[in-house]
Amino acid sequence: MPDLVAEALARLDAVEPVLCAFHEVFRTPSLDVDPSLPFAGMPIAVKRGERSSHREALVAMGCVPIGLTTTPDGSTPWQTWGRNSRGLTRNPWNLDRTPGGSSAGSAVAVASGVVPLATGVDGAGSIRVPAAWCGVFGLKTTSSERAAVGVFVRDPSLLATYLGITEVSTPSAVWSTDLGFAGVDDEQASIAWQAAAPLRPRPVPLSLEDPADDWFAGRCGPNPGLDAVFETADLLLTPTTPGPPHGHDGPGARINTALTWAFNLSGHPAISIPAGFDSGGLPVGLQAVARHGREADLVAAALLISGAVKVAPWPPRTPFKRA
């Protein structure tokens, strides 16, 4: 167990000067862990400002936190993801692009191979967007509140352990490119659609209302359009983001949470699954949304798709590249 933590800290030291994923590093974490626990000795990263109860639950499963990850600082508008008090948190696949936010550092810590699991909080897509743009799995759990806790992983089998799921079955799925209102780039849609093939999704003419006004007003609750979808299928599939990761100067007028934040208002669990890479070599995510409390269907989708989608070797080990 100490070896796993030492390896994580060594990897952190190697990439942190470039990627800036950590707000604080715990150099002497407690290694007094019961070896019978499901995550015994696993080094993890924890999102700065996250609920202590989530961190404590993972420690109770045997995890060893090695640091707090970066988020945008308080002086930065939410659109300019990836800035924090220590400088830019950079996307490992292209240093000139953002990793997404606000759980930026957690996504980078997993994508760059520092830790196998990191925590996040998703209030509009703050786990799923950086997961998509960093090429990792990002799960948000069912919640009665707009913000939900979750995790980033590279190995989808860890999700089953995290959730205490012992059995999964192949879920049925439907597909919507844009939920009826979002402007999605053709390449993002095409790559996500191809990745979804193992689930054999059925396209549906979904026309939800843009949730922007409800999100800014904090109006959470049932969504009749989504309720109708889940009467006929276990999963709703979409691209995770409408476009690729933007530069560090921000996204401009584009709302990159367009495909994610409706499910924060409705409380449905959702996951971003690595779908492949675009023509610029940047990761693309496939989003799966499930019925309340049916995270097992998300894990099933992640396992099935991860076995079929072939992506470039990672984490990126050779010099991180610029555009």
Burial class (CB in 10 A: 0-12, 13-18, 19+), 318: exposed
How many residues comprise the chain? 323
Type of residue at 30: S
**Residue 145: DSSP 8-state:** S
- Quote the CA–CA distance of 171 and 293 in Å, as a whole number: 14
Evaluated on CA atoms 112, 117, 119, 123, the torsion sign reads positive
143 as an active site residue: the answer is no
47 as an active site residue: the answer is yes
H/E stretch holding 12 reads helix 2-19
β-pairing verdict for 64-69 and 137-140: unpaired
Indicate which residue of 103, 106, 112, 126 is catalytic.
Answer: 126
Burial class (CB in 10 A: 0-12, 13-18, 19+), 37: middle
For 184, other C-beta atoms within 10 Å of its C-beta total: 20
Side-chain-side CA neighbours of 272 within 13 Å: the count stands at 34
β-pairing verdict for 137-140 and 270-277: antiparallel
For 53, other C-beta atoms within 10 Å of its C-beta total: 8
266 as an active site residue: the answer is no
Nearest C-alpha neighbor of 273 from the set 132, 117, 99, 116: 132
Cα-flanking dihedrals φ and ψ of residue 68, to 5°?
A: -100, 135
Catalytic residue IDs: 47, 102, 126
